[in-house]
Structure 1
Amino acid sequence: MPITVWGLTLAQALLMSGNILLVSISALVGKELAAHPALMTLPIACQFIGVICATLPAAHLMQRLGRKTGFVVGNLIGLLGTWVSLQGLLLTSLSLFALGTFLIGIAIGVGQQYRFAALEACAQPLHARAISMVMAGGVLAAIIGPNLAILSQDWHSASPYAGAFYGLFGLYVLALCLIMMLPLPKPAVINAQAQIRSYGQLFAQPLLLAAVASGMIGYGIMVLIMTATPLAMNHDQHDFSATAYVIQWHVLGMFVPSFFTGALIRRFSTRRVILWGCGALLASVLVNLTGQGFWNYWWGLLLLGVGWNFTFIGATHLLTFSYQPAEKAKVQGINEFMVFSAAAVGSLFAGQGLVLLGWAWLNLFAIPWILLVAWLIWRLKEQPEEQRLAPGTKHQAKE
């Protein structure tokens, strides 16, 4: 595997460490600063809105100027967002804190292109493995993020959460240095005469529709339940260390399978792996419905993480067979926009949904959406992905 893929794996680990750190504390900070319970998860929602705002511009910027320029700009915005979030926390301003998480979200949105950059650094037969490797960086993040949230509680006397943002700043500085050293591929030369299909023509492909739906719903449901969990655990009198431990194992569930998800895709097909992911998401909901003890939360979020891994990596791999080289930025950009729009809705609804519906009904709400993904993937049938392209397209998407 090329050194660039290994470097992107480490960059992904640093990015996700910051993301996990925010997940561990943002809802709790929101609870302290919000004037109304419905606004508790506003900072996380703003983070995902930032991700959404970055997706389309980042894809097109990188196609024109290259991956390195895009990633450096993203990291610099992340550093600014960290400082703004810290000021919001110290000034007890929810709006300023949310602005900071919005800027951090932009950085995270740019960083979501790491897995696509990895595809460009290796041959097509290695694509599934490359995606899995980059996502496997989250295993390191699962160790760094929650532990940094716990250890940094004593770093600043003004707030037990302020120290976490000093740690987040350091993570982004390391990621910036790493990206600047990596030999990332230069922008590809696009044939000006190449025909680029409209969104309507692209989404007429059942394969693209299924891939985007799998990414959207898998990510949206994961964020909905994950974001609500710290609030639900706090309501059930579980302490912060227990919550951080549950989040840590959730993240391990999200990323440890990445070490073998690529091999599973090669052996059993992308379709089956996504269906297994839907099964894990349903199992998570069932566990959550059986009770609200520590082990219910632990098992529920562990299965939620595994389900997300299979649906998200499977969706990313499926997506690569749905576009021509000239359509890469267009398809990757709209995919990221739709996936993280779903995540933003999930994060924004989590706090209000928990207050209005309760933990049990919030989980029941997820079931029909998971079944929808399973149906869209099931109807693709067992065929090699390359044979399911839209009529008249004999190409295979190449990075």
Structure 2
Amino acid sequence: MNRSVFILAFCQAVLFSGTGLILSSSALIGKELAPSPAWATIPLAIQYLTTMLVIFFVSHLMQKKGRRFVFMRGAIIGSAGLLIASLGIWMENFTLFVLASLLIGIYSAVGQFYRFAAAEAVAAEYKARAISMTMAGGVLAAFIGPNLAIFTRDMLEYVFLASYLALVLMTMSVAWITSRLQLPAIPVDAKEIRPLLKIATQPKYLLAMIAAMIGYGVMNFLMTATPLAMQCHNHSFDSTAVVIQWHLFAMFAPSFFTGDLIRKLGVMQVMILGCLLLIACALINLNGTSLPHFEAALILLGVGWNFLYIGATTLLTETYSSNERSKAQGMNDTFVFATLTLTSLASGASVEHFGWETINLYSIPVTLAVLLGLIWLVARRLRRAAVPT
């Protein structure tokens, strides 16, 4: 694996560490700074919406200016956003904190393309391994994010100010290290560039995008609802923190071998396994609400997401030529992030109005739909392989 993949894994680790800290602190800070507690989640919602709205533009900019150019400037924008957020905390200014969310959202949109850059940095047969190694940066994030919040939360007079200043330094290191990236020039494909509709209506592309949407959506929906469900069932905050930390570890630790697993078993077979693990998670949650139930379910949820998401990314790279990558990747990540935004906003209300058991039941049929689609595509390939040439 070349140096660029390890640089991108580091960038991914910093991005996920920051995301974890922001997710755990933004609403708490917003509650203190906002004119009304009802506005507490507005900064986080604006961050998600910004990412969703600019991700397609970011993809096109990378096609014109190159990955390194955009990665460096994205990290600088992110650092500026985190610095403004720090200023908002220090000045107790909610408007500044909201403005910062716009810039952080842009940085997050840029970071969604680290895995695609890794796939382009290696030979075709190592794409899956490069994607999974980049995502493995999240293993560090599973421990860096929570511990950074614990050790820096009350370090300065204003709660979380030191945490955000630490993120400024970490994100600036991404700007510096991405300047050392040496990504190969992507050769222009001689094929005619197809309209986006034609690319997006390929069965393989549709399945890859829907699998990524459902995989990320189900994972995020259940993950963000878990703390509320554990609180409802009288589990302590410490227990909840442990469950979430092991879930984050399970999301990224398999990345060290997911690429090799895809090469040995096949991409769709690994995605099928991911679907089965997501269904197993829901069944465990339906079977009980003790601490071991939550722990086992969230670990399976993390591993299932890893197999399905990395598999879907790998499958997606097979559906477009090099000169179609910007719109193909941009459309995929726009829909994936739209799903992430909706599930983040809906999970809390869903637990309150429908209950923990009901939302787990709802996750099963949508996952089954992806599972059946994968089985259909595998059967289609087998039929084609059986036809004599």
Using structure 1 for the length normalisation, give the TM-score: 0.87
2:320 is aligned to: 323
2:167 is aligned to: 168
Q: Does 1:362 align with 2:352?
A: no
| 1:338-349 equivalence runs, <5 A | 338-349=335-346
| 1:362-381 equivalence runs, <5 A | 362-381=359-378
In 2: Cα distance, 1:251 partner to 1:72 partner: 27
How far apart are 1:48 and its partner, in Å?
2.2
Distance 1:34 1:216, change over 3 A: farther
Distance 1:175 1:363, change over 3 A: same
In 1: Cα distance, 2:345 partner to 2:119 partner: 32
**Bigger shift: residues 243-252 or 301-310:** 243-252
**Secondary structure of the structure 2 residue equivalent to 1:181:** coil
User: Where do 5+ consecutive residues of structure 2 fail to align?
Assistant: none
Taking only aligned residues, the RMSD between alpha carbons, in angstroms, comes to 2.6
2:74 is aligned to: 74
Distance 1:52 1:280, change over 3 A: same
Does the aligned pair in 2 maintain the 1:41–1:350 contact within 8 Å? Answer: no
Does the aligned pair in 2 maintain the 1:66–1:185 contact within 8 Å? Answer: no
For residues 250-284 of structure 1, what are the alpha-carbon distances to aligned partners after superposition, in whole Å with 9 as ceiling and x for unaligned?
A: 11111111111111111111111111111111122
Distance 1:100 1:341, change over 3 A: same
In 1: Cα distance, 2:315 partner to 2:371 partner: 14
How far apart are 1:36 and its partner, in Å?
7.9
| 1:186-335 equivalence runs, <5 A | 186=185, 188=186, 190=188, 194-236=191-233, 238-335=235-332
Does the aligned pair in 1 maintain the 2:200–2:328 contact within 8 Å? Answer: no
**Secondary structure of the structure 2 residue equivalent to 1:323:** coil
Letter of the aligned partner of 2:148 in structure 1? L
**Bigger shift: residues 60-69 or 368-377:** 368-377
In 2: Cα distance, 1:218 partner to 1:31 partner: 31
2:149 is aligned to: 149
**Bigger shift: residues 26-35 or 294-303:** 26-35
Distance 1:118 1:207, change over 3 A: same
Distance 1:170 1:31, change over 3 A: same
For residues 91-144 of structure 1, what are the alpha-carbon distances to aligned partners after superposition, in whole Å with 9 as ceiling and x for unaligned?
A: 666665444334222212101111111122111011111111111111111121
Does the aligned pair in 2 maintain the 1:53–1:106 contact within 8 Å? Answer: no
Does the aligned pair in 2 maintain the 1:67–1:185 contact within 8 Å? Answer: no
For residues 185-209 of structure 1, what are the alpha-carbon distances to aligned partners after superposition, in whole Å with 9 as ceiling and x for unaligned?
A: 34x4536x74222233223311111
1:116 is aligned to: 116
In 2: Cα distance, 1:149 partner to 1:209 partner: 39
How far apart are 1:248 and its partner, in Å?
1.6
In 2: Cα distance, 1:205 partner to 1:305 partner: 28
Distance 1:336 1:86, change over 3 A: same
Q: Does 1:130 align with 2:130?
A: yes
2:12 is aligned to: 12
The total of aligned residue pairs comes to 384
**Secondary structure of the structure 1 residue equivalent to 2:378:** coil
In 1: Cα distance, 2:116 partner to 2:272 partner: 23
In 2: Cα distance, 1:326 partner to 1:252 partner: 36
In 1: Cα distance, 2:24 partner to 2:299 partner: 15
Distance 1:363 1:100, change over 3 A: farther
Distance 1:32 1:364, change over 3 A: farther
How far apart are 1:153 and its partner, in Å?
2.1
Does the aligned pair in 1 maintain the 2:89–2:158 contact within 8 Å? Answer: no
In 2: Cα distance, 1:247 partner to 1:23 partner: 12
Does the aligned pair in 1 maintain the 2:187–2:322 contact within 8 Å? Answer: no
User: Where do 5+ consecutive residues of structure 1 fail to align?
Assistant: 389-399
Letter of the aligned partner of 1:190 in structure 2? V
In 2: Cα distance, 1:244 partner to 1:76 partner: 31
For residues 202-229 of structure 1, what are the alpha-carbon distances to aligned partners after superposition, in whole Å with 9 as ceiling and x for unaligned?
A: 2331111100001111111111222223
In 1: Cα distance, 2:167 partner to 2:221 partner: 23
Distance 1:94 1:238, change over 3 A: farther
How far apart are 1:363 and its partner, in Å?
2.4
In 1: Cα distance, 2:232 partner to 2:378 partner: 44
In 1: Cα distance, 2:112 partner to 2:208 partner: 16
For residues 366-393 of structure 1, what are the alpha-carbon distances to aligned partners after superposition, in whole Å with 9 as ceiling and x for unaligned?
A: 22221121122111025769x89xxxxx
1:48 is aligned to: 48
**Secondary structure of the structure 1 residue equivalent to 2:258:** helix
1:24 is aligned to: 24
In 2: Cα distance, 1:319 partner to 1:68 partner: 22
Letter of the aligned partner of 1:166 in structure 2? L
